[in-house]
Amino acid sequence: MSGAPDIIIQEVCPRDGLQIEPVIVSTERKIGLIDRLSELGFRRIEAGSFVSPRAVPALADGDAVFRSIVRRQGVTFVALIPNRRGAERAIAAGADELNFVMSASETHNRANMGMDHEGSLSALAEVTATTGGRIHINATLATAFGCPFEGEQDEGKVLRLIEAYLRRGAQSITLADTTGMANPKLVRQRVKSVLGLVPRDELTLHFHNTRGLGLVNVMAGFDAGALRFDASLGGLGGCPFAPGASGNVCTEDLVNLCEDIGLNTGLDLPGLIALSRELPSIVGHAAPGQVAKAGRACDLHPAPLRITLAD
Ligand code: COA
Ligand code: ZN
C-alpha cells in the first residue's frame, strides 16, 4: 500500500525485544536485524539503549550497533537513555532521537533506574540542558497503566509527571504499559486525558501483551485518537526489572490486523513475517507472535490432494 500511513508503528525489537533475552545476541546479528527491519518500511526503529552495561548486559554494545547500522533516508533511529551519560553516548554513536525513561511508579523506577522521581527528573533536566536542542527528546512514562509492585497508577499522578516531563524539555511522550496491566476502558480514558497535554502526533503508546490484551489496547488507543504505537517483531520484549514481564505487542500481528481492517501501515507484512520466522535462530526459542506461525488469512493453503484409488 502506498500513501501516508493511517497509523505509525515504531519497531522496538532491537531494544525492548532483546534486552530481556537470556542469550546475548552478537553485535553483527543485531546490526543485520536492524538493517533488515529498516528495509521493511519503518519510519522509526528503537535500535538500542545506552544504560549501565551491568543493568542490561544484552545491550551493552549500543555504541557499536549505532555506529554500524545502515542509515536509510526517512528512518529515525531512536536510543533509550536513563541519564546524561546515556545521552552523550547515544549522540556520539549517531542516534537520531533520545528516549528518556522514568516510571510512574516510584517503586518500579527505583528497581529499574535506581532513582526516585526527583532523581530521574533532574537527570532529564540535565539531558535537555546538555543537548541544548541538538536532538529530539522523547520521554517515556513506564508503568503508566499499572505497576507490578504498586498496582493501579492514579491518573492525576500520570498527568503531573507528563507535565513535569514537558517543563523539562521533552518534545514528545510515550505512555508505556510495562507489564500488560492496561485494558481498553483504561486506555480510552487515559489517552483522552493525555491528549489534553500532548498533541496526537507527539504521543506514542507502548503496550505489552502480558495478559493477551495488547492488540485490543492498541485499537482502543487508536479509537481514542492516538496515532503512534510501539511494537516488537515476533512479540519479543519485556523489562528485566519488572516481575512477570513479557513481550510487546507483536509487530506482524498488529500490521496484519491493520491490513484486515483497511488501515495503511506502510509496512511490508510478508517481509515482516519472513524476518520474524528467523527470530528463533537468533534468540534460541520460539517467539510468541501468532501471524508468523499461521500466515496471513489471505495466504490460503492449497486444497488437500484428492487421492483416487484405482479400482
Ligand atoms: N551508560 C553506561 N554506563 C553508565 C550509564 C550509562 N548511561 N549510567 C551510569 N553508568 C555506569 C556508572 O558509571 C557506574 O559504573 P561503575 O559501577 O563502573 O562505576 C554504573 O553504571 C552504576 O551507575 P550509578 O550512577 O552508580 O547508578 P546505579 O547503579 O543506580 O544505576 C542506572 C543507575 C540508571 C545507570 C541503571 O539503573 C540503569 O542503567 N538502568 C537502566 C535499566 C534499563 O535499561 N531497563 C530497561 C529499559 S526501561
Ligand atoms: Zn516495554
Q: How far is the CA of 79 from the centre of ligand 2 (A)?
A: 13
pLDDT score, position 216 = 98
| C-alpha pair distances (Å), 263 with each of 39, 129, 225, 250, 304 | 20, 39, 14, 17, 33
Nearest CA to ligand 1 atom 9: 52
Helix axes 269-276, 251-260, angle to 10 degrees: 150
**Ligand 1: which residues within 6 Å by Cβ?**
19, 49-52, 54-56, 80, 82-83, 85-86, 89, 101, 112-114, 142, 239, 241
Q: Report the atom number in ligand 1 closest to the C-alpha of 80.
A: 47
Closest CA to 178 of 8, 9, 10, 20: 20
Cell of 67: 555506529
Average pLDDT score over residue span 50-78: 98
Average pLDDT score over residue span 207-232: 98
pLDDT 10s digits, 90-146? 999 999 999 999 999 999 999 999 999 999 999 999 999 999 999 999 999 999 999
- In this structure, are residues 178 and 239 in contact, taking their beta carbons and an 8 Å threshold? yes
Element (H, E) at 79: strand 76-81
Cα–Cα distance measured from residue 122 to residue 115, given in angstroms and rounded to the nearest whole number: 10
Catalytically active residues are 239
Cα–Cα distance measured from residue 167 to residue 293, given in angstroms and rounded to the nearest whole number: 45
Mind listing the domains of the chain with CATH numbers? 8-299 (3.20.20.70)
What are 204's strand-pairing partners?
Answer: 174, 228
Q: How far is the CA of 208 from the centre of ligand 2 (A)?
A: 6
pLDDT score, position 166 = 98
Q: What percent of the chain has pLDDT over 70?
A: 97
Q: How far is the CA of 280 from the centre of ligand 2 (A)?
A: 20
Cα–Cα distance measured from residue 148 to residue 209, given in angstroms and rounded to the nearest whole number: 14
For the purposes of burial, counting CB atoms within 10 Å of the CB of 292, is it exposed (0-12), middle (13-18) or buried (19 or more)?
buried
Cell of 72: 536509510
